[in-house]
């Protein structure tokens, strides 16, 4: 084995030992059914905010006046960036690598309804279809209206919310369990695929600004503030123990975005958007850094008149 291989194994052993020494008093006191509130930069909370940010129903346009009863149907898709091995160090304060790269994209239907006073109400839903071992069940809602609207410029405000959960083998995935007693591929000796539940609730406010370049093309930028309330319910068996611990996290994060809407016809529009939110994380034995989410989203929408 090369020197790099020995160094890697030694570092892994050191991290596991430190994690064990850190967590043993908690387990000794509360057993494997503990409940812990996470600091805002804990890797576990960082991961839940990351997932919640990926699932947010971003504006994908600027709130504009709609006729009461007007309906728009849309299909949204988003790119989920792949996380590096370093970023996947999430469990046990950033010492356990989790299998977080389950799918590179997500999709959901959206519907918007025109209400009185130029308010537009929107809803989106990701149904519980298992993808990569994870079963999502996520509902998103939003309501927005223009504040200033001229022939070439529009400023709008929107409130939105998300509530949902993701179930699956997060703590002990199938590949890790299949590694058996391999101390590198299965360092925590996972005995069976886990059945964990990540619950995410988000409330947010964003302001969007756009300029009408033509009747068909409209670029826009968005600034938002989002508040996350998360819970991770563990249901895993490893190292001869059954873990039913709960991890709770709450905190806020800003976000920025920008995109371009192209109206193919009076009834059909296509919108592309870039989204970014900075997220702080402090993994064990490493400095605190900002490791945010950047991803791309798109929407195809059809208006009923």
Opening angle at CA 63, ends 59 and 65, nearest 5: 150
**CA nearest neighbour of 208 among 275, 265, 263:** 275
Asked if 189 contacts 181 with a C-beta cutoff of 8 angstroms, the reply is yes
The DSSP code for 2 is -
pLDDT of the residue at 87: 96
Strand partners, 36: 247
The DSSP code for 86 is T
Q: How far apart are CA 135 and CA 61, in angstroms?
A: 29
pLDDT of the residue at 4: 41
pLDDT of the residue at 1: 46
Q: Where does residue 68 rank: exposed (0-12), middle (13-18), buried (19+ CB within 10 A)? A: exposed
User: What is the per-residue DSSP string for 175-209?
Assistant: HHHHTTT-TTTSTT-EEE---EEEEEEEEEEEEEE
Architecture of domain 33-304: Beta Barrel (2.40)
Question: Which sequence spans correspond to the domains of the chain?
Answer: 33-304
- Cα–Cα distances in angstroms (integers) from residue 283 to residues 18, 191, 291, in the given order: 12, 26, 11
The DSSP code for 265 is S
Positive/negative CA dihedral, 115, 75, 170, 174: positive
Q: How far apart are CA 276 and CA 254, in angstroms?
A: 9
Q: How far apart are CA 239 and CA 225, in angstroms?
A: 41
Q: How far apart are CA 34 and CA 290, in angstroms?
A: 29
Question: Which pLDDT tens digits describe the chain residue by residue (305 residues)?
Answer: 444 443 444 444 444 443 443 443 344 333 478 999 999 999 999 999 999 999 999 999 888 778 899 999 999 999 999 999 999 999 989 999 999 999 999 999 999 999 999 999 999 999 999 999 999 999 999 999 999 988 889 999 999 999 999 999 999 999 999 999 999 999 999 999 999 999 999 999 999 999 888 889 999 999 999 999 999 999 999 999 999 999 999 999 999 999 999 999 989 999 999 999 999 999 988 999 999 999 999 999 999 87
For residues 64, 66, 68, 72, the Cα torsion angle rounded to the nearest 10 degrees is: -110
């Amino acid at each position: 084995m090369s020197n790099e291989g020995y160094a890697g194994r030694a570092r892994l052993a050191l991290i596991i030992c430190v994690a064990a020494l850190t967590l043993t008093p908690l387990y000794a006191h509360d057993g494997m059914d503990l409940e812990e509130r996470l600091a805002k930069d804990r890797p576990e909370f960082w991961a839940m905010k990351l997932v919640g940010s990926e699932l947010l129903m971003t504006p994908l346009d600027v709130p504009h006046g709609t006729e009461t009863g007007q309906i728009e149907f849309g299909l949204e898709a988003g790119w989920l960036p792949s996380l590096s091995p370093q970023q996947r160090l999430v469990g046990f304060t950033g010492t356990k690598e989790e299998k977080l790269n389950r799918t590179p994209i997500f999709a959901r239907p959206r519907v918007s309804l025109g209400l009185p006073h130029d308010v537009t109400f929107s809803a989106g839903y990701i149904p519980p279809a298992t993808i990569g071992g994870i079963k999502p069940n996520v509902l998103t809602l939003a309501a927005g209206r223009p504040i200033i609207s001229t022939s070439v410029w529009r400023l709008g405000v929107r409130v939105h919310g998300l509530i949902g959960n993701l179930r699956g083998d997060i703590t002990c995935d199938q590949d890790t369990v299949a590694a058996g007693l391999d101390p590198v591929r299965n360092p925590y000796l996972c005995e069976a695929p886990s059945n964990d539940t990540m619950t995410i609730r988000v409330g947010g406010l964003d302001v969007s600004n756009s300029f009408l370049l033509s009747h068909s093309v409209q670029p826009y930028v968005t600034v938002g503030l989002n508040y996350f309330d998360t819970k991770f319910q563990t249901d895993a068996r490893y190292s001869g123990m059954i873990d039913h611990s709960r991890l709770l996290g709450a905190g806020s994060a800003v976000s920025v975005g920008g995109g371009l809407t192209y109206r193919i016809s009076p009834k059909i529009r296509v919108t592309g958007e870039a989204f970014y939110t900075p997220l702080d994380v402090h993994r064990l034995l490493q400095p605190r850094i900002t490791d945010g989410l950047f991803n791309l989203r798109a929407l195809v929408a059809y208006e009923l008149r």
